[in-house]
Structure 1
Amino acid sequence: MNAIEHRTVIVNGLPTHLAESGSGPLVILLHGFPELWYSWRHQLPALAAAGYHAVAPDLRGHGRTAAPPDAADYGMAAYVDDVLGLLDVLGESTAVLVGHDWGMRTAWAAAESHPARFPAIVALSVPHQARTPAPPTEQLRAWARDRLNWMLYFQEPVADSDLSADVARTLRLMLYGLSGDAGELGVRLLTTLPADAVLLDEIPEPPGPLPWLSDADLSYYVSEYQRTGFRGGLNRYRNADRDWHRLPTLGTGVLPQPTLFAGGAYDTAVRFNDLSAMRTLVPNLHEPMVIPGCGHWIQQERPDEINEAVLAFLDKVG
């Protein structure tokens, strides 16, 4: 088993923590929220054993990477620049991008704006979406009406205090509530709660230990978020409209790269999206992979299946 090593490098002036394993062609893995490099703990050694240099950073504002104080510093352009800067720090001209959740949105943006540097893409849980006709929160307010919407809730300062009040409870409930172990609960949490619902109070405690999340796994997340709070991840959400205004071409170009998409059948991003519609802007999309019984945290819930699919894809695209 290849060991996971850790170091801090300076990317665009920002001290950035990396977890990495192996040597060979570079594969960069971008995590989502509320996650960390640790979300890729199963993929790093598997990629290394197959002959790749696998690198999973803590993204800006998360974990052991520095957190800029200004919310405007968490725009998509900054995250894309961080990925490009990481390539330069590692002395590489290209890398395969693997992303999940908000990390996947960054991967889509980087791959669209710099296709020569990212010749292949692995997309987990978040399909590519074309530019919306109006700013995201405007569209979401029209869609949600009298229902609670997570992205809109995360725009408000109350989210910071709610999530930080009991970090262990927050992470335990969020990781369970959107997992395949919770079944249809995740769909209800994301689509049917009334606008005045208290988000965490709507998520029941898991009935027992989750098969994919040990006490030690949860403790790692808790210890990191107790130290940093959730502001970094929330600031990413709070730049959605700013990104729409500042990056008017994002979501309008064709991505020529070979692309693998995998998602969980209980993930609303999979269930309520027409995955075939991605082919309009991602013409070299392989047949999408939907895993029955799996939720949003796909690479943690089903690591063996994801590792097998990713390695087969990488072998195919060379």
Structure 2
Amino acid sequence: MDLLEHQLLEVNGITLSLYSCGPLDGRPVWLLHGFPECWHSWRQQIAPLAAAGYRVLIPEMRGYGQSSAPREPSAYDLITVCGDIQAAMDALGQREVCVVGHDWGAPIAWHLALLEPQRVKALAGMAVPFGGRPKQPAIDIIRQLYAERFHYILHFQQPGVAELEMDADIPRTLRMMMHNTSAVVPKDFFLQDKPVGATLFAGMQDPLTLPDWCDEQAFDEYVKTFAGRGFYGALNWYRNFERNWQRTESFAGRQIEQPALFLLGDKDPVGTLEAYTLKQMPKRVPRLEQHLLSDCGHWIQNEQAEQVNQHLLGFCSRHYPA
């Protein structure tokens, strides 16, 4: 980590904060973080990939850290965010890449593979599967299913509502979300049984401690990502389901043809939420390799870093050798 380089790139109408490591002539591997995370969530993957000869690139995604955070929610649709990474690849002269994404970073990786079939030679998604373009926006389906019950995505839709609770105490918010989607917690904020209009953390207690996979130094990086700005940029990613659906019309029925790796924790609540998509994914990604990691929640690259690194390095050696 001491050998990390940092730069600010002016791309796609924003400033993109980018960390990098590894040999300058190494084949590029992009690590795309999710919500509510930061570039530092990849801290246990950076050194092994760089040691294997890869040029590792870790952006702070739009809305996070030192990268720009436009106020307008429509600035965060999938195609626009993909454009940030595509423009950065152009600026760095990269013609062949591997893309790895976790949580919200996974849909970016899946869609970069569709947008850039010549440049993206291999990819990996963690936690969030690819099921192709649905017949209607996902937000419409969620509204139908949760008309009388709380759902965190519906709670995130109105700008300013979730921010009031989450911004009030950023360390508390991060502790709550880290603990309540880790493998050790049987119930999480994704699947709470409470009425519409409840707050995100209603009925939940601040653990006041960090999960085993996140030490104080790492936690400081997470807090720094949101300090002074709050969560509005990160939450804006959730306010584009309809726009995402509209902007991906040309991808309807398309398959991801590149070699692809998918990793999921056996105790990740997203696995329950996306059960149907998981069953459909092999049809949409024919060259798919999948692994279910035991005793693992949502924060897969940290909770089971050794297993993730073994799978990721093995996959890259077979399909994207350094």
The answer to whether the superposition gives a TM-score over 0.5 is yes
Letter of the 2:132 partner, please give it: A
Number of residue pairs the alignment of both structures matches: 315
Conserved 8 A contact 1:5-1:21: yes
Q: From 268, 278, 283, give the equivalent of 2:281.
A: 278
Alignment of 1:127-206 (within 5 A): 127-156=129-158, 157-182=160-185, 184-186=186-188, 189-190=190-191, 192-206=193-207
TM-score normalised per structure 1:
0.94
Conserved 8 A contact 1:9-1:16: yes
Supply the distance in 2 between the matched residues of 1:250 and 1:175 (Cα, whole angstroms).
Answer: 33
Aligned residue number for residue 118 of structure 2: 116
TM-score normalised per structure 2:
0.93
Conserved 8 A contact 2:172-2:208: no
Alpha carbons of structure 1 residues 208 and 80: separation in structure 2 relative to 1, 3 Å: closer
Match status 1:9 vs 2:13: no
Aligned residue number for residue 238 of structure 2: 237
Letter of the 2:89 partner, please give it: L
What is the SS of the residue equivalent to 2:9? strand
Question: What's the CA shift string for 1:142-200, capped at 9, x where partnerless?
Answer: 11232211111111231111110111111110111111121x212x6425333243221
Identity %: 35
How far did 1:6 drift? Answer: 1.6
Aligned residue number for residue 32 of structure 2: 30
Supply the distance in 2 between the matched residues of 1:171 and 1:236 (Cα, whole angstroms).
Answer: 17
Aligned residue number for residue 250 of structure 1: 251
Conserved 8 A contact 1:127-1:269: no
Supply the distance in 1 between the matched residues of 2:165 and 2:253 (Cα, whole angstroms).
Answer: 36
Supply the distance in 1 between the matched residues of 2:202 and 2:52 (Cα, whole angstroms).
Answer: 43
Supply the distance in 2 between the matched residues of 1:119 and 1:202 (Cα, whole angstroms).
Answer: 46
Conserved 8 A contact 2:149-2:196: yes
Supply the distance in 1 between the matched residues of 2:3 and 2:151 (Cα, whole angstroms).
Answer: 40
Conserved 8 A contact 2:178-2:211: no
Supply the distance in 2 between the matched residues of 1:251 and 1:185 (Cα, whole angstroms).
Answer: 35
Alignment of 1:255-266 (within 5 A): 255-266=256-267
Q: From 62, 65, 77, give the equivalent of 2:64.
A: 62
Supply the distance in 2 between the matched residues of 1:203 and 1:46 (Cα, whole angstroms).
Answer: 37
Aligned residue number for residue 223 of structure 1: 224
Gaps of 5+ in 1: none
How far did 1:216 drift? Answer: 1.8
Letter of the 2:183 partner, please give it: G
Runs of 4+ in 1 over 6 A off after TM superposition: none
Gaps of 5+ in 2: none
